[in-house]
Amino acid sequence: MNIRLYNARILTMEKNRDVFRGEIWIKNDKIVCIPEIEELKQDWNKRDVPRISWDIELDCKDNLLMPGFKDAHTHSGMTFLRSFADDLPLQEWLQHRIFPMESKLGGDDIYYLTKLAILEYLTSGITGIFDMYLKPDQTAEACLDTGMRCVLVSGLNNFTSSPQQMEEEYLKWNQKNSLISYQLGFHAEYTCSKELLYKVAELAHKYRAPVYTHLAETAKEVEECKARSGMTPLVYLDSLGIFEFGGGGFHCVHMTEQDMNTMRMRRMYAITNPASNMKLASGIAPIAQFEKRKIPVAVGTDGPASNNCLDMFREMFLVSGLSKLKENDAASLDAMRVLRMATVHGAKAMRLHRADVLAKGKYADIIMIDLHQPNMQPVHNIPKNLVYSGSKSNVLMTMIGGKILYRNGEFNIGDDPENIYRKCGQIVKRMMTG
């Protein structure tokens, strides 16, 4: 399908390129051209792009087109636990409330619970998710059926999955498929035996692949690891050879100088989840310190059981605001850097190299932001407006792979939202009464 998005302001997120007025031309799932207004005034014979017969021409009415956000850490299937176990510290929340309920999941529960999350991602302008949860096949099928771009990451631990299963999933979902891919991972140091971690390292070396895990989320996690191994979680895991080919840590709140040096050496990503860390009182990640050491930072929402909403606008504001508070410096983190974390860095952390910016040959993962709402006026600085005053209500359209999945409050995902709500309600009722 050929789509023309015209009369738009465009923020490509390419380095050193400001917002400009122009158009985006799309063929099937990719961008073929992004002409600026001045280019369009030139003689067509001077252009190397032929005239195109359009299937859809959409007037953007001077609103903003930009790359979709990349939710670089989430657990989509946990929608059934939203507002179920709030106001508890992490370990109690996890061990006594979350794990017991997750043991009741069965059948195709995660498929429908993930679909519910996808509806919310689309309303927040999220076009790619880095999802770690039980039964990744069901997560993948939900994303394929709805059109959501998803990178699966294993949540391997002592109780679920296995190295063999992770390897099978890695090979299965890294076949040629533009929407679904898979990365090696495990839940956390404290839920995996040393023997299991060695097997993760073996797979990383076998495929020369990065590895991702929950890392240094709480002070207790760090102290308990030091008591067991004499090292922080990151240094201990690296000593086993796990991060030789890079990867990333989710949360990265309680980090030492040695931890950050290791991250820099291994070219790892720090994937911050400020709302979840704040709500669970886990702490504030040292974002400005990562930046100073040139450790790339991406942003995730974490799951809907701990956040509780899947809203990248709120995450961006908290990344910036909490960093300024932690550093006692209002100039410690600029809005444009935060916007890059939520888009470009997220795509790179997830290894979605064709979905990082808007440019010729990249995937048409595009969102439209309504600039005609009070919170986006006056238009002094669009990136700052997005980070400091933007909200989900500003998302007019979410397109993934050239398909408009959400526009003006309506979904185009092959299923009726009310049916998804009904299915999820039935799942929750069964679990609460079973």
**Spatial CB neighbours of 75, under 8 Å, sequence gap ≥ 6:** 131, 132, 133, 302, 303, 304, 305
Note the pLDDT of residue 352. 97
Residue appearing with tokens 């990151």:
234
Q: Are residues 29 and 87 in the same domain?
A: no
Mean pLDDT across the stretch 21-40? 94
Instruction: Output the average pLDDT for the chain.
Output: 95
Express each pLDDT in 245-291 by its tens digit.
Answer: 999 999 999 999 999 999 999 999 999 999 999 999 999 999 999 99
Structure tokens at 361: 């040959």
Answer yes or no: is 28 within a domain. Answer: yes
Note the pLDDT of residue 49. 55
Express each pLDDT in 68-84 by its tens digit.
Answer: 999 999 999 999 999 98
Give the domain-ending residue among 314, 349, 384: 349
Note the pLDDT of residue 301. 98
Domain total for the chain? 2
**Spatial CB neighbours of 433, under 8 Å, sequence gap ≥ 6:** none
> Confidence class of residue 94 from pLDDT cuts 50, 70 and 90?
confident
Tell me how far apart the alpha carbons of residues 273 and 72 are, in angstroms, rounded to a whole number: 9
Strands (DSSP E) found in 75-145: 126-131
Helical packing angle, 109-123 and 417-433, nearest 10°: 130
Note the pLDDT of residue 48. 55
Identify the residue with better confidence: 102 or 60. 60
Q: Are residues 43 and 88 in the same domain?
A: no
Q: Is the pLDDT at 10 greater than 60, yes or no?
A: yes
- DSSP of 218-279, one letter per residue? SHHHHHHHHHHHSS-HHHHHHHTTTTTT-EEEEE--S--HHHHHHHHHHTEEEEE-HHHHHH
Note the pLDDT of residue 294. 97
Q: Are residues 60 and 93 in the same domain?
A: no
Q: Are residues 394 and 284 in the same domain?
A: no
Note the pLDDT of residue 36. 94
Mean pLDDT across the stretch 52-60? 94
Q: Residue 154: which domain range?
A: 69-349
Q: Is the pLDDT at 105 greater than 90, yes or no?
A: yes
> Confidence class of residue 47 from pLDDT cuts 50, 70 and 90?
low
Q: Is the pLDDT at 115 greater than 80, yes or no?
A: yes
Answer yes or no: is 370 within a domain. Answer: yes
Of 23-32, 93-102, 198-207, the poorest mean pLDDT is in: 93-102
Q: Are residues 172 and 306 in the same domain?
A: yes
Note the pLDDT of residue 93. 80
Answer yes or no: is 340 within a domain. Answer: yes
Answer yes or no: is 418 within a domain. Answer: no
Q: Are residues 37 and 149 in the same domain?
A: no
Note the pLDDT of residue 91. 79
% of the chain with per-residue pLDDT over 90 = 89
Answer yes or no: is 419 within a domain. Answer: no
Q: What is the DSSP letter of 363?
A: B
Record the pTM.
0.96
Partner residues linked to 132 by β-bridges: none
Note the pLDDT of residue 52. 80
Give the domain-ending residue among 327, 349, 371: 349
Q: Are residues 127 and 168 in the same domain?
A: yes
Mean pLDDT across the stretch 40-65? 80
Answer yes or no: is 118 within a domain. Answer: yes
Note the pLDDT of residue 44. 54
> Confidence class of residue 217 from pLDDT cuts 50, 70 and 90?
very high
Q: Is the pLDDT at 46 greater than 80, yes or no?
A: no
Answer yes or no: is 107 within a domain. Answer: yes
Q: Are residues 159 and 183 in the same domain?
A: yes
Decide: 88 and 34 in contact? Cβ < 8 Å: no
> Confidence class of residue 50 from pLDDT cuts 50, 70 and 90?
low
Can you give the CATH number for the domain in which 264 is found? 3.20.20.140
Can you give the CATH number for the domain in which 390 is found? 2.30.40.10
Q: Are residues 58 and 84 in the same domain?
A: no
Note the pLDDT of residue 415. 97
Q: Is the pLDDT at 321 greater than 80, yes or no?
A: yes
Answer yes or no: is 332 within a domain. Answer: yes
CA atoms within 13 A on the CB side of 294: 4
